[in-house]
Amino acid sequence: MRLSSESELMKSGREDAVPDDSRSVLIVRGLSKYFGALIAVHDVSFSVHEGEIFAIIGPNGAGKTTAFNCITGVYPVTSGEVVFFGQNILGLPGHEVTSLGIARTFQKIRIFKNASVLENVLIGMHCRTKSGVWDALLRTPRTRQEERESRQRAMELLRFVGISEQWWAPARQLAYGDQKRLEMARALATEPKLLLLDEPVAGMNPAEKDDMMSLIHTIQDSGRTVLLVEHDMNVVMGVSDRIVVLDHGEKIAEGTAQEVQRDERVIEAYLGRGYRREPATD
């Protein structure tokens, strides 16, 4: 993030054309978010293709989480567009964004710690349930059937992320890494077409990171598109199909992991001059 004068805000930077092709699940055009004179994100454009793992990286304060918050409706944007399957979703409240098919996890875990593991996942399903208030009050057959199906689906998701044996436990009793998995299961319970992961391996040991990388690939294999923010470069380079790099709120590079590692602007701003480049391949 950086401070800027009004005159600087009026100057447009490099134009980044984003193709409107049939592969694009999410198209971000000219996204900017200013907090007064403080620039969090400025004129950022990129597209996320269906079925890929797309990463946003950059140093602390680069605007990565702010971009996530703009995409998911947490922050109103200063300018730009966010198009999801052809619909501009800017201005929609968070619950409507979720209903359209975008789910996310958070940099700081947000789970209901006093609720059970199973209950946390069931909460994520509420945006997809069809029973109304009177159905719930009268305990209609429709409601009971929906509850049975929801519990079955919740258990499937807990098995998918690897914590089904702890379905009964209060969420606060889970180990840190398992709490991360629970948050992912709850996000998946909303049946997203696009899953946003904010620093999914933060605070994990190497073995946990390897397991999480495998899980992210499994989520991709299940047909989901993944957009992630992550600081661990081994993880980013190990799971990402394409990467966009932010610095001081602006986009400085985009490409495959190999392309980004060789970009001089990225090395200068983020990876550091001592970072070992991958050898070029023909």
Task: Spell out the domains of the chain, with CATH numbers in brackets.
Answer: 1-98+226-272 (3.40.50.300), 102-191 (3.40.50.300)
Low-confidence ranges of the chain (pLDDT < 50): 1-20, 279-282
C-alpha 67, offset from chain centre: 10
- Please report the pLDDT score of residue 17 as a whole number: 47
- Please report the pLDDT score of residue 75 as a whole number: 92
- Please report the pLDDT score of residue 144 as a whole number: 75
- Please report the pLDDT score of residue 116 as a whole number: 97
The Cα-based distances of 183 to 47, 158, 211 in angstroms read 25, 10, 15
- Please report the pLDDT score of residue 10 as a whole number: 35
- Please report the pLDDT score of residue 233 as a whole number: 87
- Please report the pLDDT score of residue 275 as a whole number: 52
Bridge partner residues of 49 (DSSP): 24
- Please report the pLDDT score of residue 168 as a whole number: 96
